[in-house]
Structure 1
Amino acid sequence: MSQVVASKYQGKTYSLRVEVEVSPEQLVMVGVSHIGVPLFQLELDGAGLRTKALKGEALPFDPRYILSDFQLAYWPFELVEKDLAQRGYILVRGLQATSRYIYDADHDLVASVEVLRAGARAGYMVIVHHDLPYELLIQTLDRTEGT
């Protein structure tokens, strides 16, 4: 899967391309600048999570947040619900199959995942963290299913 991820945090917008490969054994994400410079690589498998910065300078964010948001949006609902419940959060499915909402123990909205259905950005996924606050706008450019 190839995506363009734009984030808004503290009045600044950051954008990068993220290439994702998922197999039953592992997930690999590579962040690439828009001019093709590799920025980071994440690998998640049975041995755990490994991150590697591929660019000489520090990134303005921790790439593990992108992985966490990817899991929130794409992992099976029941797995995410179980993991969040162990940490005291409640995951609620929205009216659309792709919508998900996370609430804390006080029933305050912490995060939301929604796919825009109308307007110029129809088809984009929006992930909003209401507690931090920051927002991701994700455009999937290419998605290839394995055989």
Structure 2
Amino acid sequence: MLLNLFGHFIDVLSRRVVALLLLSFLTACSQQIARQTCVPLTSEAQYCLNPTSSVLTDAQHRDINLTQMVNFTRGQDSHELLTQLDVNSQRMTLVGLAPLGQALFTLVYDGQTLQSEQSLLLGEQFKAEYLMAIMQLIYWPTEQVNQQLSGGNLITISCDMALCKQLVDDNGASITLTYNNIDPWLAQVNVDIDAADIHLQINPIE
């Protein structure tokens, strides 16, 4: 499932030149979709989205507004997406932007329901809620992630970076997270999904 999701996403990005020619028309054509709040991250591990209160307990991070450049690599293919992540006491919002700044998808999670509005360009198979789940895996406290994780466990591991975590499922499959800053919100974060041959590099933009 995860392989199909990101594989489809990278296939979409690889057609970005054609997409941008059509974007002025297609951005006006979007669909509103109610999404599932629980997603499989590996063949065994399933994660259900945490409420925003789980991350806003840290007084240093009230009303989070973070712009990021996300680089997706699969095999020899590599593509970029600009994202805007906003978190407050009521909701978590994730917006994906094309290279020229047009919104491709908007996800809004209110702690109960997840609503997605996305360009028809992305197709019905594109499920941006997986990216929102990855964002929570990166930024939410480990103990909060594990409360919402079944079939696996997120742990902190030793490494030569400022911080490293690994999600290991019941079959031994893993997702590895590495941070170049002890504060995840300030860090460049690398996410390696070995089973799907996918690497994500997430850079915060000042």
Q: Same fold (TM over 0.5)?
A: yes
The unaligned stretches of length 5 or more in structure 2 are: 1-65, 182-186
Equivalent in 66, 70, 95 of residue 135 of structure 2: 70
Per the TM alignment, residue 141 of structure 1 is displaced from its structure 2 partner at its CA by 0.4
**Counterparts of 1:56 and 1:114, CA distance in 2:** 34
- Superposed, which structure 2 residues align to 1:64-143 within 5 Å? 64-84=129-149, 87-95=150-158, 98-106=163-171, 108-116=172-180, 123-142=187-206
Task: Report if aligned partners of 1:73, 1:98 keep a CA contact under 8 Å in 2.
Answer: no
Runs in 1 of length 4+ with deviation above 4 angstroms? Answer: none
Q: Normalising to structure 2: TM-score of the pair? A: 0.59
Structure 1 residue aligned with 2:121:
57
The unaligned stretches of length 5 or more in structure 1 are: 118-122, 143-147
Structure 2 residue aligned with 1:15:
80
Structure 1 residue aligned with 2:41:
none
Structure 2 counterpart of 1:141, one-letter code: I
**Counterparts of 1:97 and 1:81, CA distance in 2:** 21
| Deviation per residue, 1:52-91 (Å, 9 max, x gap) | 10x331268531221011000001111112222xx21021
Structure 1 counterpart of 2:153, one-letter code: I
Task: Report if aligned partners of 2:162, 2:179 keep a CA contact under 8 Å in 1.
Answer: no
More strand by share: 1
**Counterparts of 2:164 and 2:109, CA distance in 1:** 24
**Against the structure 1 CA distance between its residues 98 and 42, is the aligned structure 2 distance closer, same or farther, given a 3 Å change threshold?**
farther
Q: Normalising to structure 1: TM-score of the pair? A: 0.80
Per the TM alignment, residue 10 of structure 1 is displaced from its structure 2 partner at its CA by 4.6
Task: Report if aligned partners of 2:73, 2:198 keep a CA contact under 8 Å in 1.
Answer: yes
**Against the structure 1 CA distance between its residues 62 and 12, is the aligned structure 2 distance closer, same or farther, given a 3 Å change threshold?**
farther
Task: Report if aligned partners of 2:68, 2:205 keep a CA contact under 8 Å in 1.
Answer: yes
Provide the alpha-carbon RMSD of the alignment: 2.1
**Against the structure 1 CA distance between its residues 115 and 46, is the aligned structure 2 distance closer, same or farther, given a 3 Å change threshold?**
closer
Kindly, what percent of the aligned residue pairs are identical?
Answer: 22
Task: Report if aligned partners of 1:127, 1:137 keep a CA contact under 8 Å in 2.
Answer: yes
Structure 2 counterpart of 1:130, one-letter code: D
More helix by share: 2
